[in-house]
Chains A and B, each alone.
Chain A
Amino acid sequence: MTESDEPRIVIPPRVTIPIGPQHPALKEPGMFKLTVEGERIIDAEVNIGYNHRSIEKIAEGRTFLQVLYLAERICGICSATHNGTLAQAVEAAAEVEIPERAKFIRTLTWELERIHSHILWLGVAFHEVGFDTAFMYSWRDREVVMDLLETLSGNRVNYAMNTIGGVRRDVTDSLKETLLKGLDKLEERMKYYRDVAIYEKTFWNRVDGVGVLPNKIAKSHGAVGPTGRGSNVPTDVRFNDPTQAYVHLRDSGEFEMVLSDREDVAGRAIVRVVETIEAVRMCRWLLHNLPDGPIRERVRPRIQPNEVLARYEAPRGEVIHYLVTNGSDKPERWKVRAPTHANWVSMAYTLRGGYLADAPIILAAIDPCFSCTDRVVLVDAEDETIQLKPLDVLRAESNKWYESRT
């Protein structure tokens, strides 16, 4: 048998394509090393840690009220999430029951935030598959809910609605009408986007059967949020472990956990779109059943020694705040687990075996939020090459430079 008898197998050259730390498909830094053969991805590796802010360490030197606003800066998109969850954790540690009306308003902010986050995701997903028209349309309609949040809280991004012991702003009757009117419009638009996502052939072809995450893998790799629910994993803290007004929402029996057994990107997309419509309905229910009463309870700044595990279903999945208090007005230990962090593990699995062209939509399908993920780490400013400066120093220096020029 000579060599020429053996069939020659031509192996396409293996190329390692880095996606990130800077890449148009990523809005924040993260790195995905993809090894591709032609168009097929055969291996994937996830690297994170490019956005280090050491929030947990900083928090140990701050009072609870200060940490509350620090928590809001963990993530811009889910700012009410971390803010509210920390408030909830501190209240649980102090064993304070907050007024019913405050609970409802807190939940309302959370649900409005979910709407805005999911529409944002939808736009990004449309953009990743090159459907820019739908991307522009969905972000235009996202402005509706952004305006609602602005009228509710005064801010478009960092709402600062929650405080320890309640909420900071009340919902007046006229505001209620505005919110209800905006919610009607949102529901109508979301139904339109649901139809676009399902019936638009070119979009559907790009998400159907892409990035498959089997139910078993999703469970063992700890997929949370719409990523898990898209693989039929029943993890939704709002129904499994309800707090705040979610107890009433669950007891009303009008709402159900949105699950999909498609296990691919299409499943995750459907879960998100349907969940947005559910969130609109939840907001309306909350507004209609808003109880009267005060909106905040006084809480002493010193919290008794306690340890609390606060959970909440953020738009991207389960958020965990593990708070240990020691009797002072500062936390002993505060651990934040943002949902994206849990989804990284299953990420590498879903990327393997897919097409390179599908990598952006698979990456986007978990709705990655890097700033949430990389909160624990310190910026090494003393390093030889890079000198990082705080913003105010930079500002002062730039002012000096401009003055010297004129």
Chain B
Amino acid sequence: MQGILDGIVHILIQSFGILVFPGIFFISFLALLWEWIDRKFYARLQNRMGPMHTGWHGILQPLMDFLKLLGKEDLTPEKADKRSFAAVPFVMLSLSIILTMFLPIVDMNPLVPGIQGILSFEGDVIIVLFISTLMAITIVLAGYFSSNPFGQTGAARTGMLLISFEIPLIISMITPAMLTGSLRVSTIMNRLAGQAGIASLPLAYLWLLILPFIIFIVAIQAELERIPFDVSHAETEIVHGWQVEYSGKKLAMIHLAEDIMLVYAAGLAVTMFLGGPYLLEFIPLEVFSVGFASLMATTWVGWIYYALVFILKSVIVVLILSNMRTLFARWRIDQIVRAGWKFIVPLALVNLMVVQFALVYIFPLLGVV
């Protein structure tokens, strides 16, 4: 009897985790909040006001945009491959939500030391990278299914973007995996942060993370198709490219999926490079030692604390990404491909060699293993 009850409670907690917190609802909330922060910060940097009217300083504007799009007429072009055309927004939305499930925001599995995401297993870094590549391929398909010249051009450009910036993205994420010797997102994060009773890395290793972090930020900007890499939906050239034929509910879903991708991108940067949802633990005080972690891991205070720290760190990454948007003009696709293959990919490879060299030769020599 007790076992059945425990099982039901466990299932309830798990489904609460997936559906509400830190799952779909929380992620969608963050997605809309991130869009507002992104728009507002972008506008203020350009000496504009940004959204002002809906809610406090327009904080509800992204939600209103989403709801408004839901109520708009939904058109499908006559020449489009109708079923696939309709499937693309669903696929994009579900893929982006699955991606965010891998982010360790709060501890979903207290049995394993350290914070675990909703989905967490050995080798999930590979799955994350695979799905994020799949997202880009979905975009290419979206452009081709709409059978619009602008959409097809946008799709072709997305493909070019994919082949030039997916590789540095993957290489930059391999570096933390190499340093920690694991292919599991939560293990990488917990070992880099050195928290929750997991053996930490020597501080010297952290220097090796600076260059991959920069490469990661640049590559993720390309992955998100934001300025200066927004060639695939440059509105002055090809009128929002692959999105051009989408309207109404489908467009709403695509926008939400893009916002969730921003949550995922910022969250991944936090997880892989910035130490995840740990903050106070880094302060070398008696209070924040092992007892604190176990307290946080078992009570609801921990959920709020970890979520807040995650939000704080993500906002910093989002602000960095928005700031990049203001600084540049849009590159041409050939310039992007050239820059990607001439500078970013070689840089990533050199970085990989340096890390391997340091791990095998230098650190044992210095005695930091």
For residue A176, CB closer than 8 A to chain B, the reply is no
CB-based nearest B residue for A140: B47
Task: State A130–B240 Cα separation when bound (angstroms).
Answer: 12
CB-based nearest B residue for A126: B329
Chain A positions within 8 Å of B45 at CB level: 133
- A7-65 at interface with B (beta carbon < 8 Å): 15-17, 23-25, 36, 38-39
Chain B positions within 8 Å of A206 at CB level: 329-332
Task: State A137–B228 Cα separation when bound (angstroms).
Answer: 18
Task: State A133–B327 Cα separation when bound (angstroms).
Answer: 7
Task: State A134–B153 Cα separation when bound (angstroms).
Answer: 27
Among B156, B237, B239, max chain A CB count under 10 A is at B237
A205-B331 in contact given A359-B237, A360-B237 (Cβ < 8 Å): yes
Least distance between B344 CB and chain A CB atoms (Å):
15
Q: Is the CB of B153 within 8 A of A24?
A: no
Least distance between B14 CB and chain A CB atoms (Å):
44
A360-B332 in contact given A15-B152, A38-B156, A133-B326 (Cβ < 8 Å): no
Q: Is the CB of B235 within 8 A of A200?
A: no
Q: Is the CB of B46 within 8 A of A130?
A: no
A25-B236 in contact given A15-B152, A131-B328 (Cβ < 8 Å): yes
For residue A203, CB closer than 8 A to chain B, the reply is yes
Q: Is the CB of A356 within 8 A of B227?
A: no
A133-B46 in contact given A202-B328, A358-B332, A360-B236 (Cβ < 8 Å): yes
Q: Is the CB of A356 within 8 A of B237?
A: yes
Least distance between A373 CB and chain B CB atoms (Å):
21
Task: State A127–B329 Cα separation when bound (angstroms).
Answer: 8
Majority DSSP secondary structure for residues of A touching B: helix
For residue A322, CB closer than 8 A to chain B, the reply is no
Task: State A137–B47 Cα separation when bound (angstroms).
Answer: 7
For residue A129, CB closer than 8 A to chain B, the reply is yes
Q: Is the CB of B330 within 8 A of A130?
A: yes
For residue A355, CB closer than 8 A to chain B, the reply is yes
Task: State A131–B227 Cα separation when bound (angstroms).
Answer: 8
Chain B positions within 8 Å of A126 at CB level: 329
Find A136's partner among B48, B238, B239 (CB 8 Å cutoff).
Answer: B48
A-B contact pairs, 15 of them (CB 8 A): A15-B153, A36-B153, A39-B153, A39-B333, A129-B329, A130-B227, A130-B236, A131-B329, A131-B330, A202-B329, A203-B329, A206-B329, A206-B332, A357-B237, A359-B237
Nearest first, the 5 A-B pairs at minimum CB distance are: A130-B330, A131-B329, A136-B46, A202-B329, A25-B236
